[in-house]
């Protein structure tokens, strides 16, 4: 890629070329080792004499910014980094408090999908074990897809590869009793895009969206980003408390199979109550079934989608927990009345997804490899979960009371009252000892809620769980008064 050389400003042509290249080195756009275009080529591009460019190069070389290599060309000198005035990013020409500003709400948005630092004893939430992913099989499927050479010459269907939509419809049908056809499925870039698409087609600025408290912050912020007024609704042992829903809610977001982050399952009476409420108030329901593939106790309850007779439920799923978050593949099963709008919204958002990846996943599912992968990884996660529960009922029992949970890749445990410790203090102390845990308060929109810890077991080996929990117990002892 050519580096842009500006001839604007004062001074002769040599001075202007010199300043443009020098500034590129100083602000990090030109890095040590980058090759500059030959003087003859740059002169032709700028419509100046070759001698003008050569003089600028010679001056920069004399000052240590550039170096010539016989037979190779002119490069940014290795020592130029020490001459740089910046930190590798160009300084803004406009003060940060001037110029374009986002609309209200975006400056306060806190969630970021960036990577999180790992630790020796990693109890992060929502992280599957990348080491369990079948890389060899996946490479074979991807390579076979490219060898076929059957990708469309133009843009693909925004709803996703037809084979993957059909495979998803079959999968949710037999695995979760979600009755849907391929036309009801829209493939998305993870569950987060599914939430964004639903918000685009259903919500107007000022509409009320009810979410669980505690709950999933990225969902809350996705709805707020579209101008919705997000209202937190408490969760008890049966799930979302329907009687506390605001009457004006246009949409209700729930995680009924494995409430995030508490882990409780919404009872059947509560599910029926929520569906009846949605029908009476002309509201929609987003059912986020993010990790119920991993079930270790109890029989799965009927999903809201399977109980819905009024076309009120939008069912969202993801492959981030069963496979890899980096694949960025999820899906949404939409009622017939929303299908066209959601497909159009997906097209406007990013055109369509990665066709070869979607086709490879379709084959992965059709060959029974996804079901086999879930069975295999389920055994691994089950061992880790057993080790975690043993520790919560053992060394950590004086400090924590775990919330009953039968599925998923994490467990929530509430602090026992009266010991004076806070989850934030414990988590900070544990982090210093190489243990990464997440306080429950980070998933609450309002202060003063229940205090506790959320412990994932997707990223930690079963053999490491006891030692990690022993260190966590030591952190409790260190921050507990007396």
Q: What would the pLDDT profile of 434-471 be if each residue is shown by its tens digit? A: 999 999 999 999 888 899 999 999 999 999 999 999 99
Domain containing 277 — which CATH number? 3.40.640.10
Domain containing 472 — which CATH number? 3.90.1150.10
Choose the final residue of a domain: 349, 367, 385. Answer: 367
The confidence score (pLDDT) of residue 148 equals 77
The confidence score (pLDDT) of residue 135 equals 96
Whether 362 is covered by a domain: the verdict is yes
pTM of the model: 0.84
> Are residues 330 and 416 both part of a single domain?
no
Per-residue pLDDT for 426 more than 70? Answer: yes
Domain containing 25 — which CATH number? 1.10.10.10
For 240-251, write each residue's pLDDT tens digit.
Answer: 999 999 999 999
The confidence score (pLDDT) of residue 229 equals 96
The confidence score (pLDDT) of residue 150 equals 61
The confidence score (pLDDT) of residue 108 equals 65
> Are residues 321 and 404 both part of a single domain?
no
> Are residues 204 and 340 both part of a single domain?
yes
The confidence score (pLDDT) of residue 153 equals 62
The confidence score (pLDDT) of residue 89 equals 43
Whether 176 is covered by a domain: the verdict is yes
Instruction: Name the band, by pLDDT with cuts 50, 70 and 90, for residue 49.
Output: very high
For 141-188, write each residue's pLDDT tens digit.
Answer: 999 988 876 665 678 899 999 999 999 999 999 888 899 999 999 999
Lowest mean pLDDT among 96-110, 371-385, 417-431: 96-110
The confidence score (pLDDT) of residue 102 equals 74
For 200-235, write each residue's pLDDT tens digit.
Answer: 999 999 999 999 999 999 999 999 999 999 999 999
Query: Can you give the residue range of the structural domain that contains 22?
Result: 13-83
> Are residues 238 and 180 both part of a single domain?
yes
For 74-130, write each residue's pLDDT tens digit.
Answer: 999 988 866 655 444 444 555 666 777 777 766 666 665 555 666 789 999 988 999
Instruction: Name the band, by pLDDT with cuts 50, 70 and 90, for residue 419.
Output: low
Choose the final residue of a domain: 83, 112, 144. Answer: 83
Q: For the residues 382-409, what does the mean pLDDT come to?
A: 95
Lowest mean pLDDT among 136-150, 170-184, 190-204, 349-363: 136-150
Calculate what percentage of the chain has a pLDDT beyond 90: 76
Instruction: Name the band, by pLDDT with cuts 50, 70 and 90, for residue 276.
Output: very high
What is the tally of structural domains in the chain? 3
> Are residues 319 and 433 both part of a single domain?
no
The confidence score (pLDDT) of residue 421 equals 84
> Are residues 190 and 309 both part of a single domain?
yes
> Are residues 203 and 306 both part of a single domain?
yes
Per-residue pLDDT for 191 more than 50? Answer: yes
Per-residue pLDDT for 316 more than 90? Answer: yes
Three state DSSP letters for the chain: CCCCCCCCCCCCHHHHHHHHHHHHHHCCCCCCCCECCCHHHHHHHHCCCHHHHHHHHHHHHHCCCEEEECCCEEEECHHHHHHCCCCCCCCCCCCCCCCCCCCCCCCCCCCCCCCCCCCCEECCCCCCCHHHCCHHHHHHHHHHHHHHCCCCCCCCCCCCCHHHHHHHHHHHHHHHCCCCCHHHEEEECHHHHHHHHHHHHHCCCCCEEEEEECCCHHHHHHHHHCCCEEEEEEEECCEECHHHCCCCEEEEEECCCCCCCCCCCCCHHHHHHHHHHHHHCCCEEEEECCCCCCECCCCCCCCHHHHCCCCCEEEEEECCCCCCHHHCCEEEECCHHHHHHHHHHHHHHHCCCCHHHHHHHHHHHHCCHHHHHHHHHHHHHHHHHHHHHHHHCCCCCCCEEECCCCECCEEEEEECCCCCCCHHHHHHHHHHCCEECEEHHHHCCCCCCCCEEEEECCCCCHHHHHHHHHHHHHHHHHHCCC
The confidence score (pLDDT) of residue 90 equals 45
Whether 326 is covered by a domain: the verdict is yes
The confidence score (pLDDT) of residue 182 equals 95
Choose the final residue of a domain: 367, 402, 425. Answer: 367
Mean pLDDT of the chain: 90
Structure-model confidence comparison of residues 391 and 71, the more confident one = 391
Whether 91 is covered by a domain: the verdict is no
């Amino acid at each position: 890629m050519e580096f842009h050389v500006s001839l604007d400003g004062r001074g002769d042509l040599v001075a202007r070329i010199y300043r443009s290249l020098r500034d590129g080195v100083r602000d990090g756009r030109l890095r040590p080792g980058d090759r500059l275009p030959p003087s003859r080529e740059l002169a032709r591009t700028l419509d100046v004499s070759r001698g003008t460019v050569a003089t600028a190069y010679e001056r920069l070389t004399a000052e240590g910014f550039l170096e010539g290599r016989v037979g190779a060309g002119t490069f940014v000198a290795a020592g130029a980094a020490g001459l740089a005035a910046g930190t590798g990013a160009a300084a803004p020409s406009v003060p940060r408090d001037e110029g374009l500003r986002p609309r209200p709400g975006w400056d306060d948005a806190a969630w970021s999908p960036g990577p999180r630092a790992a630790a020796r004893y990693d109890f992060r939430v929502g992280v599957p074990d990348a080491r369990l992913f079948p890389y060899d099989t996946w490479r074979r499927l991807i390579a076979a897809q490219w060898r076929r050479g059957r990708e469309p010459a133009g843009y693909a269907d925004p709803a996703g590869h037809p084979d993957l939509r059909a495979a998803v419809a079959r999968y949710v049908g037999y695995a979760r009793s979600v009755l849907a056809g391929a036309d009801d499925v829209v493939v998305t870039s993870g569950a987060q895009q599914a939430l964004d698409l639903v918000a685009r087609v259903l919500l107007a600025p000022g509409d009320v969206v009810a979410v669980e408290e505690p709950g999933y912050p990225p969902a809350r912020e996705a709805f707020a980003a579209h101008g919705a007024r997000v209202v937190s609704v408490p969760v008890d042992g049966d799930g979302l408390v329907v009687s506390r829903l605001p009457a004006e809610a246009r949409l209700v977001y729930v995680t009924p199979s494995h409430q995030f982050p508490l882990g409780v399952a919404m009872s059947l009476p509560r599910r029926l109550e929520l569906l009846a409420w949605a029908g009476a108030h002309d509201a929609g329901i987003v059912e986020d079934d993010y990790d119920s593939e991993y079930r270790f106790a109890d029989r799965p309850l009927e999903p809201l989608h399977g109980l819905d007779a009024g076309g009120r439920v939008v069912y969202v799923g993801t492959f981030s927990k069963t496979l890899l978050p980096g694949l960025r593949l999820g899906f949404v099963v939409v009622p017939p009345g929303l299908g066209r709008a959601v497909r159009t919204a997906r097209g406007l958002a990013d055109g369509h997804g990665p066709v070869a990846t979607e086709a490879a996943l379709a084959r992965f599912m059709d060959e029974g490899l996804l079901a086999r992968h879930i069975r295999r990884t389920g055994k691994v996660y089950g061992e880790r979960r057993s080790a975690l529960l043993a520790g919560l009922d053992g060394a950590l029992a004086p400090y924590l009371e775990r919330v009953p949970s039968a599925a998923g890749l994490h467990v929530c445990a509430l602090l026992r009252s009266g010991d004076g410790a806070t989850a934030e203090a414990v988590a900070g102390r544990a982090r210093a000892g190489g243990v990464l845990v997440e306080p429950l308060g980070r998933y609450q929109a309002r202060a003063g809620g229940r205090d506790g810890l959320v412990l994932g077991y997707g990223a930690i080996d079963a053999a490491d769980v006891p030692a990690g929990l022993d260190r966590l117990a030591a952190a409790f002892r260190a921050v507990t008064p007396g």
